[in-house]
Amino acid sequence: MRSANPALKGTPFNKFGGTSVSKQMTLSGTVYKTFILLIILMASSFYTWHQYNIGEPVGHLIMIGVIGGLISALIIAFVPKTAPLLAPFYAALEGLAVGGISANFESQFNGITMQAAALTFGTLFALLLAYMLRIIKVTHNFRLIVFSATAGIMLVYLTSFILGFFGIDIPYLHSSGPIGIGISLFIVVIAALNLVLDFDFIEYGANQRVPKYMEWYGAFGLMVTLVWLYFEILHLLAKIRRN
């Protein structure tokens, strides 16, 4: 339970402990691969964004991104050795969804995507600095709280998705009133704290002499959290604008 990220928590590092590998996971290597995945995601999202702005239908691209991204993420989560091959595909597919959804929000609220992106990266760097300076310490209780809150949020989202087929909405979850905004703000905080657990997960892996391919796995997990945080901030800003 070192990370609450569903994409990361299933891989125990202790199975690599004490093993001798010629190429090992490093922090710098993980950062470099995270940057590569981010560039791929942004390039893919810009393509869908452009298609939307010139009037082309992007619904099919969003669906391809969501479904394809989910499938590739599940494969990586269960078979980490596939991360070097599938993580770039995940980033490209996820970018299709990010670009299309972002363009739709931008058409309703001018400038909202730049605000959401700035807040996402600002949160990333602020929490990274706090983690490096040990202002935020990852304790067992910290992990337990973030893990429990994340699991609860995922359960609520899953329930909302299922109830949606029957025309039933969970009260306040998508509303733009003070309670709805408060709920979104809470979810944004939990998503942001998952970044801290991801940092801890990556640092721990780099100290455990794990194979080099785990750099891609750690970078993939960090991208999952960043995309989630971006969408939650986008959702929060939209609620504030509507209110």
Over residues 80-96, the pLDDT tens digits come to: 999 999 999 999 999 99
Mean pLDDT score, 33-61: 95
Do the Cβ atoms of 181 and 236 come closer than 8 Å? yes
* Secondary structure E strands in 50-179: none
Over residues 122-155, the pLDDT tens digits come to: 999 999 999 999 999 999 999 999 999 999 999 9
Q: Which of 95, 101, 48 is closest to 68 using CA atoms? A: 95
Q: What is the pLDDT of residue 200?
A: 95
Over residues 176-214, the pLDDT tens digits come to: 889 999 999 999 999 999 999 999 999 999 898 899 999
> Is a pLDDT exceeding 90 seen at residue 107?
yes
Q: What is the pLDDT of residue 188?
A: 97
Q: What is the pLDDT of residue 20?
A: 52
Q: What is the pLDDT of residue 185?
A: 96
CA atoms 201, 204, 208, 209: torsion sign = positive
Percent of the chain's residues with pLDDT above 90:
79
Q: What is the pLDDT of residue 164?
A: 84
Residue indicated by tokens 């990852």: 138
Which residues pair with residue 211 across a beta bridge? 24
Token pair for residue 50? 């452009």
What mean pLDDT value characterizes the chain? 91
Q: What is the pLDDT of residue 166?
A: 83
In whole angstroms, give the CA distance from residue 184 to residue 197: 20
Q: What is the pLDDT of residue 170?
A: 81
Q: Model pTM?
A: 0.90
| Reported confidence tier of residue 32, pLDDT bands at 50, 70, 90 | very high
In whole angstroms, give the CA distance from residue 220 to residue 215: 8
Token pair for residue 11? 């891989």
Contacts of 157 (CB under 8 A, 6+ apart): none
Mean pLDDT is highest, among 159-168, 174-183, 215-224, for 215-224
